């Protein structure tokens, strides 16, 4: 693909560790194979985003919020929680809620495949897990290329999208992490209760 076809965004294919299947920490600079192409010349402008897929739709997430990407962990059901919350899981001593984005966006449940991943976010309120069907790419997006959604013309299910951005031939929804964390990360007193409940189980 030539530079003109990239438009306002620079697309870089996803790189994975072939031994573990985990996502490489910095796909734009990591060169595991000395014969692999050097991507250091890519014009790294704008904000780095990670692309992921739900059902047949594509989405983007600002990488500054991404702590890590893991295989789907063992999830503990949380009674009386929001329907979109699958439950909670433990990672390095921290109890984190994990959200099913398909439910938020009104999509069919779907099956858990080998490509299913949990994106672990780090926000001001704490950690949050997101279940996605697949990680597709890393991309640099200029803010000017993101079209803001007018919430007055879209249903509640789109409340967690801050806008859309065209990446190549695809139109991708841009996730609003702040809105997600405000809804799904409990206040500290509730978080303490969750931890106590996990320790007793």
For 162-181, what is each residue's pLDDT tens digit?
Answer: 889 998 889 999 999 999 99
Closest by CA to 177, choosing from 166, 185, 165, is 185
pTM of the predicted structure, to 2 decimals: 0.71
- Write down how long the chain is: 201
* Domains identified in the chain and CATH numbers: 3-200 (2.40.50.180)
What percent of the chain stands above pLDDT 70?
68
Give the model's confidence band at 153: pLDDT under 50 very low, under 70 low, under 90 confident, else very high.
low
Q: Looking only at Cα atoms, what is the longest distance across the chain?
A: 58
Give the model's confidence band at 21: pLDDT under 50 very low, under 70 low, under 90 confident, else very high.
very low
Tokens representing residue 180 in the block: 């997600």
pLDDT single digits (tens) 124-149: 999 999 999 999 999 999 888 888 87
DSSP state of 16: B
Query: Which one is predicted more confidently, 193 or 83?
Result: 83
Q: What sections of the chain are H helices per DSSP?
A: 3-6, 101-104, 177-184, 188-200
Contact 161, 175 (CB under 8 A): yes
Place of tokens 């978080």: 191
Closest by CA to 120, choosing from 70, 195, 74, 84, is 70
Tokens representing residue 58 in the block: 């594509």
């Amino acid at each position: 693909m030539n530079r003109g076809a990239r438009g306002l965004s620079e697309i870089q294919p996803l790189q994975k560790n072939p031994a573990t299947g985990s996502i490489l920490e910095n796909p734009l600079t990591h060169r595991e194979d000395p014969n692999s192409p050097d991507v250091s010349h890519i014009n790294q402008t704008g904000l780095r985003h990670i692309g992921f897929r739900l059902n047949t739709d594509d989405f983007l997430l600002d990488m500054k919020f991404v702590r890590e990407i893991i295989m789907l962990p063992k999830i503990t059901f949380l009674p009386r929680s929001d329907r979109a919350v699958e439950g909670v899981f433990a990672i390095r001593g921290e109890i984190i809620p994990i959200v099913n984005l398909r439910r938020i966006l009104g999509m069919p449940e779907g099956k858990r495949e080998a490509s299913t991943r949990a994106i672990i976010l780090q926000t001001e309120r704490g950690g949050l897990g997101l279940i996605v069907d697949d990680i597709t790419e890393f991309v640099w997006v200029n803010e000017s290329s993101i079209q803001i959604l007018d919430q007055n013309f879209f249903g509640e299910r789109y409340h967690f999208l801050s806008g859309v951005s065209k990446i190549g031939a695809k139109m991708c929804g841009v996730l609003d992490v702040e809105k997600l964390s405000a809804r799904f990360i409990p206040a500290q007193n509730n978080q303490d209760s969750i931890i106590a409940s996990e320790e007793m189980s």
